[in-house]
Structure 1
Amino acid sequence: MEASLTGRMLHVKGKLGSAHKSFRKIPVGIRIDGSSVVLKAEGTRKRDLAILNTARSIVRNLCEGVGVGYTIKLKVVYAHFPITIKQDGAMILVENFQGERSARKAKIVGGTKVVSKGEDVIVTGHVLTDVSQTAANLEQGTKVKNKDHRVFLDGVYVYEKKKGE
């Protein structure tokens, strides 16, 4: 894995691809020292240390993502009308949701890959924010409206999150 810094933009390259993150609005000092990324808090208050730990998590997620990747598995649940999941370019189509004629749509964010295998939908990628936002878009796209959500449990739900593709 190799990292480079251009201004306040951190670029990370690994075996799965490359990712970048802007630290323009995050108040931490960032520099690359040899083979490591060095972060320094701007102050000594509790808030500054909390921001430093957030930036550390962001850098760790970028490095793990380009190294091993991320996978989120979702389960398709229905009681009566069988739901089908299809991919159309940068959109996921949820067809026959509660017998609706038009398909519900969810956006695929970034370079995330979506595979539908029977009752499971597998979302994989090397940028954690893109993978989790795609899974959230799919989950929110199948939200039950104008009915009691405790009774009508149809939808697509996350059941497993893991590192590695």
Structure 2
Amino acid sequence: MQLISFKEEIQIPSGITVSIEGKTVKVKGKKGEISRDFSFANFLNITQEDGKIVLEASFLGRREKAVVYSVMKHIKNMFTGVQKGYRYYLKIIFTHFPITVKVVGDEVQITNLIGEKNVRKARIMPGVKVTVKGEDILVEGIDLEKVSQTAANIELASKIRGFDRRIFSDGIYIYKNEVIE
């Protein structure tokens, strides 16, 4: 069943400025600025009226309606990011060989994973801050997608292949994520 007309509104919180140019939405707050392009949703009209972002579309099927709600959630995540920010926690786990993790430029270098001599590298996305504190790694930023992608890059770089994961549990794992208060 198709919806003939569809309209959703998102209230813009105080302290945030939004500018919309075509399908690109720019959100600016006290922590910074995020820009996102929604041109993949070519059936969707994004406008700004009276302190609200209005999403309008016509003749939506189930998939198109799901895309509209995804765009809404992305915009709300942008609001949360520029107001508060996001943080991911990762834990360094090793049994015999101590793993060394350090941040060098725009990458995280992991050495001595199960005694390996080579250096494993994980890319840090732009606008994301990574700090290593003992056996914890903190990944912080205002863009949820970049923060979560950086955390996933670190976790994936430390993945061990060719060993039984139940016995060789060495690696770096995401164990918590939160909105910074």
Band of TM-score, shorter chain? over 0.9
Larger radius of gyration: 2
Is residue 100 of structure 1 aligned with residue 116 of structure 2? yes
Other structure's SS at 2:152 match: helix
Gaps of 5+ in 1: none
1:75-154 to 2 correspondences below 5 Å: 75-154=91-170
**Alpha-carbon offset, residue 164 of structure 1:** 1.1
After TM superposition, the structure 1 stretch with the greater mean CA deviation from structure 2, 115-124 or 39-48, is: 39-48
Tell me the matched-pair count: 165
**Alpha-carbon offset, residue 75 of structure 1:** 0.4
1:7 aligned partner:
22
- Letter of the structure 1 residue corresponding to residue 39 of structure 2: R
- Letter of the structure 1 residue corresponding to residue 66 of structure 2: A
**Alpha-carbon offset, residue 85 of structure 1:** 1.1
Give yes or no for contact 1:41–1:48 (8 Å, CA) kept in 2.
no
**4+ residue segments displaced more than 3 Å:** none
Other structure's SS at 1:49 match: helix
| TM-score relative to the length of structure 1 | 0.96
1:5-84 to 2 correspondences below 5 Å: 5-27=20-42, 28-84=44-100
- Letter of the structure 1 residue corresponding to residue 82 of structure 2: V
For residues 21 and 140 of structure 1, the distance between their equivalents in structure 2, rounded to whole angstroms, comes to 26
Gaps of 5+ in 2: 1-15
**Alpha-carbon offset, residue 23 of structure 1:** 1.2
Cα 1:79/1:69, change in 2 over 3 Å: same
For residues 110 and 53 of structure 1, the distance between their equivalents in structure 2, rounded to whole angstroms, comes to 27
Q: What do the CA deviations read for 1:72-108 (whole angstroms, capped 9, x no partner)? A: 0000000001111101100000111111112110000
